[in-house]
Chains A and B, each alone.
Chain A
């Protein structure tokens, strides 16, 4: 009887250790996954915010580096009615903004939200306020919403689509 009790005690201890190990392993895996997701979202957010920086500093080189240079890239502008298809064409509506002196554009993103779409694509959505001060002209301010779709290409998050619209 004593022998059996000893065995039972050992069994309980081993079982608790095993259950604890499994639980700990699962918890560690879940934590690692959450950490990975947070890290990827931070990468995507940085890519989204770099476009803001490019426009605010009139940095055309930085601006160009943030887009996928492909026929696949599309843009629905705030002020023009139709979708713009393909990379060289997508840059055109931004040419005016990028030609202004640094500081003439002030773009502020608000309530930015990043959602991952599998391993290779991501979605950024938010609101923006853009103020444009053309030299010698009256400033223009637009309040709007933006959808940004990015794809990971050669390890870098690049824009493949942007839809901007003024607040209804």
Chain B
């Protein structure tokens, strides 16, 4: 008899859980059906990580009520916010040179999106290097040298934002490599780095480096 009562209780609890699951599933369907709101400059995720002083100075975009639907593109960040985001991107890209200069493999790894999506063209390998593990492998030689053996000097660096979640860093570079007991080598080149914001952090997803054409 007690067994039957126990089963009855379990059945009621099960029915309650099933009902809850139905409600949750219904809510989930509704959430996917509703189009996502257009992000505005005030709701950019980067605003929270930008220096507070800069972020608070950004004026709120004025919302003008309109009866007709607009097809305007996503609002671009204001100048102050743009500068703040570019500063974030710059902080990441400068660490790239630091990682090579100090032979810090851990720092270097933290600057890349560790994904199959990540790829690169290098000055020494003719073909595209696909996937994070392969890209990481392409830096092994430089990172195996003693700290201070490599110096990367970026020049005419330029950062351009691509929407809210991507950025482009382009410029020229001089890479000096001084292997122990070997003659130093120097490469003058151009670079393109593409970064994507993932989980609030700017990460490199693509690099293209090429030597200056002769």
Residues of A at the B interface (CB closer than 8 Å) are 1, 4, 7-8, 11, 14-15, 18-19, 21-22, 25, 29, 72, 74, 76, 78-83, 85, 111, 113, 115, 117-121, 123, 125-127, 145, 147, 149, 151-155, 160-161, 163, 165-168
Indicate which residue in A18, A118, A168 contacts B163 across the interface (CB closer than 8 Å).
A118
Determine if B4 is an interface residue (Cβ-Cβ < 8 Å).
Answer: yes
Partner of B170, one of A21, A76, A78, A165: A76
12 contacts between A and B (CB under 8 A): A18-B21, A18-B25, A72-B160, A81-B213, A117-B162, A125-B208, A127-B127, A147-B208, A151-B162, A161-B170, A163-B192, A165-B211
Interface residues of B in 24-58 (CB under 8 A from A): 24-25, 28-29, 32
Which residues in A have their C-beta under 8 angstroms from that of B208? 125, 145, 147, 163, 165
Is the pair A83, B163 in contact by a Cβ cutoff of 8 Å? no
**In the assembled complex, B140 has its CB within 8 A of some CB on chain A:** no
Would you give the shortest CB distance from A97 to chain B, in whole angstroms? 16
Contact B210 A151 (CB under 8 A): no
B11, B21, B127: the one contacting A8 at CB < 8 Å is: B11
Q: Which chain B residues border A18 with CB–CB below 8 Å?
A: 18, 21-22, 25
Q: Shortest Cβ distance from A48 into chain B, in angstroms?
A: 14
Q: CA of A68 to CA of B135 in the docked complex: distance in angstroms?
A: 30
Residues of B that sit less than 8 Å from A by CB: 4, 7-8, 10-11, 14-15, 17-18, 21-22, 24-25, 28-29, 32, 71, 73-74, 117, 119, 121-128, 130, 156, 158, 160, 162-166, 168, 170-172, 190, 192, 194, 196-197, 205-206, 208, 210-213
The docked-state distance in angstroms from the alpha carbon of A134 to that of B11 is 83
Q: Is the CB of B28 within 8 A of A83?
A: no
Minimal Cβ-Cβ distance residue in B for A144: B210
Q: A123-B205, A125-B128 are in contact. List 6 more A-B contacts (CB 8 A).
A: A79-B213, A113-B130, A117-B162, A117-B205, A127-B127, A161-B168
Indicate if the CB atoms of A115 and B117 lie closer than 8 Å.
yes
The chain A residue with its CB closest to the CB of B73 is A154
CB contact under 8 A between A121 and B165, given known A83-B171, A149-B194, A153-B73:
yes
Cβ contacts under 8 Å, B211 to chain A: 165, 168
Among candidates A126, A149, A152, A163, residue contacting B128 with C-beta atoms closer than 8 Å: A126
